[in-house]
Amino acid sequence: MTMRATEASKKLDELYSELESVRGMSESEVCSKYNADCKQDIEDIIEEEIEALKSYDCDDYGEDDGMDYINLQLSQGLPVIRW
């Protein structure tokens, strides 16, 4: 599955929020919530996910997204303006 830049940005926001939440929790809260051995493990995992997502090459197609818009418009009875 590929991700668009807006999806990646939203996921990054969620990960940063989760990381801040984890950092604000006690060791026992984190271990209980995430079924982990220690808080640092969870922080490391979230930070790794953030770094991986930051380096992810998103699929933002500027001009051609693969959709045949002309035939779509024709199938819906819409006028087609060709440039």
pLDDT in tens, 4-14: 777 888 899 99
pLDDT of residue 78: 83
DSSP 80: -
DSSP 55: T
pTM of the model: 0.64
30-39 pLDDT, tens digit per residue, is: 999 999 999 9
Segment holding 73, helix H or strand E = helix 69-75
14-27 pLDDT, tens digit per residue, is: 999 999 999 999 99
Percentage of the chain surpassing pLDDT 70? 82
Q: Give CA 48 to chain center in angstroms.
A: 14
Of the two residues 58 and 37, the one the predictor is more confident about is 37
Closest CA to 31 of 17, 44, 46, 41: 41
